[in-house]
Amino acid sequence: MIYTDQIGREIEILDTPKRIISLVPSQTELLVDLGLEDSIVGVTKFCIHPKSLKEKTAIVGGTKKVKYEKIRTLNPDIILCNKEENTKEIVENLEKEYKVHVTDISILKDALEMISQYGNIFNVEKTATDLVNTIISQKEGFDNFIKDIPKKRVAYFIWRDPWMVTGSGTFIDHMLSVNGFDNAFGNKERYPEIPIDGLKSFKNIDLILLSSEPYPFAEKHVEEIKHMIPNIPVILVDGEYFSWYGSRLVNAFSYFKTLQLSIT
């Protein structure tokens, strides 16, 4: 069967892949929740969920740099990549030897399409459909909860030194909008660097969010920013619920509800 991945590449898959390498942490977690853990032969060092997976599965590098010789020894039937997480060079090198599927996730609809297509590719359609339906139901419940909550204008930090925030065209930006947040840097693309002092000139920021990933912001960083910008509240948020677009979404809306209640 011919599948078209999310960047428009056609992939012919004749038999259900039995040896899978995933180069995307959130997609690795999704595979496990689809019941495919025993088929995963390789992951990245950043594939941290479930914790037990790395103890029995080969590590083939990171998301930006992979060990090609290690991948060859694993003889995968398919390699799963993502447009943002992995480089174009990695995809081009791997597709010379293997079936490579690339996702491109900017909004929730993209994530649900990915889950459904994985269901078809790996012959777990019912599990994938149930997962999609659960996420949709959770999202609908959250939409009803949040509809009367006033919007807050936020800055969502993903990195320190240099200080970087989330801009437009990202899954995080989409999830901020799902939460009813107005992204203060939505007029900039992707992940712009900003001078931390520049925040002082923004008069209408209601809240600063420090993500737990990719930079591991902690309480000491909350105090650091509060010292520099004392007039804007600062809180830590679980970045996996804002940026992981696989089965992590099942629990995301419960987390968002708790978050909203804590800041309302």
The tens digit of pLDDT for each residue in 98-140 reads 999 999 999 999 999 999 999 999 999 999 999 999 999 999 9
Ordered domains of the chain (ranges, CATH): 2-104 (3.40.50.1980), 148-263 (3.40.50.1980)
Cβ atoms within 10 Å of 196's Cβ, excluding its own: 15
Closest alpha carbon to 181 in 142, 217, 150, 144: 150
Average confidence (pLDDT) over 147-171? 95
Higher-pLDDT residue of 194 and 103 is: 103
Residue type, 99: K
**What's the average model confidence in pLDDT over 191-216?**
86
pLDDT of residue 78: 98
pLDDT band at 228 (very low <50, low <70, confident <90, very high): confident
When pLDDT is cut at 50, 70 and 90, the band that residue 195 belongs to is confident
**Distance (Å, rounded) from C-alpha 23 to C-alpha 200?**
39
Task: Categorize the per-residue pLDDT at 54 as very low, low, confident or very high, splitting at 50, 70 and 90.
Answer: confident
**Average pLDDT rounded to a whole number, residues 73-94:** 97
Q: What percent of the chain has pLDDT over 90?
A: 90
pLDDT at site 197: 75
Tokens for 7, please give them. Answer: 């960047």
Tokens of 120: 């078809």
Largest CA distance in the chain: 60
pLDDT range class, residue 58, cuts 50, 70, 90? very high
Q: In the prediction, which pLDDT does 215 show? A: 96
How high is the pLDDT of residue 264? 77
Distant-in-sequence contacts of 220-224, Cβ < 8 A, 24+ apart: 221/160
pLDDT value for 24: 97
One-letter identity of residue 30: L
How far, in Å, CA of 81 to CA of 22, rounded?
Answer: 7
Give the Cβ contact number of residue 72 at 10 Å: 11
Work out the pLDDT band at 183, boundaries 50, 70, 90.
very high
Q: What is the pLDDT of residue 85?
A: 95
The whole-chain average pLDDT of the chain stands at 95
pLDDT, tens digit (0-9, with 9 covering 90-100), for 6-20: 999 999 999 999 999
